[in-house]
Structure 1
Amino acid sequence: MTKRKLSLGLAMTLGISQAVWASGYQFDLQSVRTQANANANTAEASDPSTIFYNPAGLALLDGTQLTLGSSMVDPQSTFSYSVATTGGGQTVTPGNTGGDYARQAAIPHGYVSQRFNEQVTLGVGIFVPYGAPIDYEENFVGRYYGKGIDFKSLAINPSVGIRLTPHHSVGFGISAQYLDIDMETSVDIVSVAFGTCLAGGGSPEICQPLVVGYGSQPDATASIATKDWSYGYNIGYLFTPNDNTRLGLAYRSFIKHELNGSASFDVPTSLPGGAASPINAGIAVALADSEAQVDLATPETLSVNAYHLLDRRWALMADVTWNRQSRLQRIDIDIATDLIPDRRIVYQTAWRNSWRASIGFSYLADENWTWRGGYMYDQTPVAHSSYALTVLPDASRQMYSLGGSYQLNEQTSIDFAYSYLKFSDAAINRTDDDHIAANGSPGTLTGSYRTYVNLFGLSLTYRF
């Protein structure tokens, strides 16, 4: 039994890389005030959250300021399907649509700024840039393409804003970014047995009757846990031609991660033939626990934004952001063992670069109340349904936001926001492991997702 064929026998059934990375993983909203304007007010630079959006805005802040807040994500998503088969071409049974698989999540953030002198303001932000809490019910029909993911992240972003002249400011920040990704997928034990038999020199005609008894066995489960710290930077420029207008340009770098951890497999204990079966011995080798490594880079972004005060009450604002998602063309999961040193699963994702655009307004009702609103269109990086991912199906989306600010006193203000995020219907048409023939196939999955999300935000800003 060659190592190459044994690796192929495993690859025929594992869809784990779909859980490694999911489109739509990026949390764009790192400020409740910005959420209320649907990401349009990034040139306003009115509180320390400008550290995330444009560090040059720090130079416009006075004294010491602290912002603490969180946005609650309440997703509602349904899945329907027309085809779901195993790698052997059999209908996936038992099978269901996955239930209430998209989990609620809170996105906290905190920022503090301190003016050092007339030209320099220092600050630091702590926020959650990425995440994906997905957990399908048992017997989800797409479980061989990914059953769940718990994608956690944290970024610490010290920054400095420098006022070069009354009209020109620049900013720079360093990001220490932590990713922690746990993934789980089901493995069709019949397909593993069949692939192992073929790897041992058997023909399809010989192997087919030998693996019939495995059809009564439960699935195996593959779990991968990886984590990593890495570093990047962000820079910004802000032009204020007058007291009423601000024009911004901001860039946040990609961050390359080498996530390391473990791959573990839960295999049924009472397989047909027992310990003497060469097929079972091959399954044990193919599904042996190992270390795991995943290399990936989070996307860089480039934003152009504007803020204009029409009069003492009304302001208009806009933002256009480009995301370089095309760095993610494929996912490699290295799960080598001593017996299979080249054990690796490779998938194409073929992401494209994407963009989003926002417009918004604010209205100063009186000395205490300011009302806000905005609209955003955000393009998906997923180019085709054959690259869609079960662990977080993505589609282009529209956001409608309303919110406001209430000035409690000279030092304290509260921001609140509600946003409705509507996704376009997302088709999934998966087969042959994203067109990598050497990976075999965990089966075929054809279906569609419908999703909308309610977002609720609340934050407090205190000026010392």
Structure 2
Amino acid sequence: MKTTWLKTAIAIAAGALSTQALAAGFALNEQSISGMGTSFAGRSSSADDATTLFGNPAGMSRLKREEVSFGMAAIHAKTNIKDTSGFPGNGSNDGDMVPTTAVPMGYYVQPIDDKWAVGVGVYVPFGLITDYEGGFAGRYHGDYSEVRVITVQPTVSYRFNEKLSIGFGPTINRIDGQLESAVPTGPAPDSRVKIKGDDTAVGFNFGVLYEITPQTRAGLTYHSKVDYKLEGDTKFSGAAFGPLAGKYDASLDLETPESIDVSITHELNDQWTLYGGAMRTRWSRLEAIVVENEGAAPLSVISEEQDWHDTWSYALGAAYKLNKQWTLRTGLAFDQSPTNNTHRSPRIPTGDRTAVSFGLAWNPTDDVTVDLAYSYLWEEDTKIRHTNSQGLSYNATYENSAHGFGAALSYRF
């Protein structure tokens, strides 16, 4: 029971962190459909539309007209689970644990004059859903996880001169999650543990854009860490918990990590634009998870080492303007996973991954742009060798891949 509580509480933190560029989990880098078409290469320097409010708020200075942009991305993941072993020695492993997930986004930018612009964005920077079947062989290590963060970002940018712009926006972030695990109960049906929690916390997004020449610009964006204190409850049910069955108030301190994105955009000629970028994310903040439980002695304080490491992601992309109405995009990205072989569990069974993307922009008029994008990613084979303090083990090899589809509409007033 103690181990199951701990694993479930840890997953609410690890799940919340398992994002960035469809990275470290089947989750979210989809804050821009135009950016999705180039695998997010040039994210902090492209400033093509109102979605720059997330990619680099300084890029709002390049938008000459009032603009609104709405979009949606859908993620469909597939997993092949093989070479399984461990307690209880049987159970299913069909791999259909990630339901197709929709990720919405919306932005509004208003230039005030030649120097100032303001805007607001709503997007989903973090999220995870894994939902294994009831008889999953690894159910004692976690069989249901749902965590998401929704962010609202009011933003302002200022253009010093023809070359240098800056932008800043506080982020208001709402996190909520639900995690479930099974607990063995001998010959009786499995017991269950369910934890739910939520919190609202503030961070910020800061960016600098420097136009080296009229054809070349470089950008840097800093997304701050965010400190959460999730408050909720845990429900224990089933014979395994005896008189301790019931609900307990619970809290969990969590920091989502900061990241620095640097990129360059170069307009080669009237038709070709090239993009390159790299992002460093400080996943090493997740050294250990400490859970505080009210009235649940001897479980009032529980901790476990995670030992995640910092990661780099890299991307290259290109856009080709066929004519005034049509633009084609493509990109290639590589993204490291912060997890390690010692602590990796079925909740976040991810490894290093590669993604290729294709995009299309249609401008039927000067006021309207329709963006479409498709991404396919695949991971290296990822091994799970997970044993908890009760001696229950789950071993498997995961082959993960995912398809991403995106559509957005931008309108300029």
* TM-score, normalised with respect to structure 2: 0.94
Q: Which residue of 2 is the match for residue 30 of structure 1?
A: 31
CA distance in 1, matches of 2:143, 2:79: 15
1:76 to 55, 75, 78: 78
Gaps of 5+ in 1: 1-8, 86-90, 190-214, 269-279, 433-439
Residue identity matched to 2:175 = L
1:52 to 42, 51, 54: 54
CA offsets, 1:174-198, max 9 Å, x none?
Answer: 0000001100001123xxxxxxxxx
Instruction: Please list, as runs of the form range in 1=range in 2, the aligned pairs for 1:101-250 lying within 5 A after superposition.
Output: 101-189=97-185, 215-250=186-221
Amino acid at match of 1:110: G
How many Å separate the matches in 1 of 2:6 and 2:92? 19
| In 2: Cα distance, 1:286 partner to 1:79 partner | 35
Check the 8 A contact 1:69/1:457 in 2, yes or no.
yes
**Contact 2:54/2:121 (8 A) holds in 1:** yes
Q: CA deviation at 1:14?
A: 5.7
Q: Helix, strand or coil for the counterpart of 2:204? A: strand
Query: 2:350, 2:400 within 8 Å by CA — same for their partners in 1?
Result: no
Residue 251 of structure 2 corresponds to 293
Residue 373 of structure 1: CA displacement? 0.5
In 2, the alpha carbon distance for the partners of 1:12 and 1:104 equals 27
Say which SS state the counterpart of residue 129 (structure 1) adopts: strand
Shift of 1:13: 7.7
Identity across aligned pairs (percent)? 29
Distance in 2 between residues matched to 1:55 and 1:138, nearest whole Å: 45
Contact 1:98–1:138 (8 Å) recurs in 2: no
Aligned-pair CA distance for 1:449: 0.7
Q: Does the 8 A contact of 1:234 with 1:252 survive in 2?
A: yes
Residues 2 and 299, structure 2, Cα contact 8 Å, conserved in 1:
no
**Contact 1:24 / 1:394 at 8 angstroms: preserved in 2?**
no
Paired position in structure 1 for 2:281: 323
Tell me which residue corresponds to 1:415.
Answer: 371
C-alpha distance in structure 2 between counterparts of 1:117 and 1:158, whole Å: 18
Structure 2 alignment gaps of length 5 or more: 21-27
Match of residue 397 from structure 1: 353
Partner residue, 2:313: 356
Cα contact 1:162–1:171 (8 A) shared by 2: yes
Shift of 1:431: 1.5
Alignment coverage as a number of residue pairs: 403
Q: Aligned to 1:387, what secondary structure does the other structure show?
A: coil
Check conservation: 1:13, 1:442, Cα contact below 8 A.
no
Paired with 1:404 and 1:456, the residues of 2 have a C-alpha distance of 12
Match of 2:225 among 230, 233, 254: 254
AA aligned to 1:431 is T
How far did residue 142 of structure 1 move?
1.0
Q: Amino acid of the residue matched to residue 309 of structure 1? A: E
The 4+ residue runs of structure 1 with deviation greater than 6 A are: none
Q: 1:424 aligns with which of 380, 396, 403?
A: 380
SS of the aligned residue for 1:11 comes to helix
2:66 maps to 1:64: yes
Q: In 2, Cα distance between the equivalents of 1:442 and 1:457?
A: 44
Q: Measure the CA separation in 2 of the matches of 1:99 and 1:381.
A: 22
Cα separation, 2, equivalents of 1:373 and 1:321: 19
CA contact (8 A) 2:4 2:140 kept: no
CA distance in 2, matches of 1:441, 1:81: 22
Higher alpha-carbon Rg: 1
Q: Would the aligned equivalents of 1:371 and 1:405 in 2 still touch at CA under 8 Å?
A: yes
Q: Give secondary structure in 2 for the equivalent of 1:15.
A: helix
Partner amino acid for 1:146?
Answer: G
Q: Spell out, residue by residue over 1:144-165, the C-alpha distance to the aligned partner (whole angstroms, 9 max, x if none).
A: 1111111122000111110011
Alpha-carbon contact 1:336-1:344 (below 8 Å) kept: no
Task: Quote the Cα distance in structure 1 between the aligned partners of 2:190 and 2:301.
Answer: 21
Q: Say which of 339, 342, 353 aligns to 1:386.
A: 342
Q: Structure 2 counterpart of 1:377, which letter?
A: F
Counterpart of 2:342 in 1: which secondary structure?
Answer: helix
Q: Residue in 2 aligned with 1:196?
A: none
Superposed displacement of residue 78, structure 1: 2.0
TM-superposed CA distance for 1:119, in Å, is 0.6
One-letter identity of the residue aligned with 1:353: D
1:417-461 Cα distance to aligned partner (Å, 9 max, x none): 1110111111111123xxxxxxx3361111111110000110010
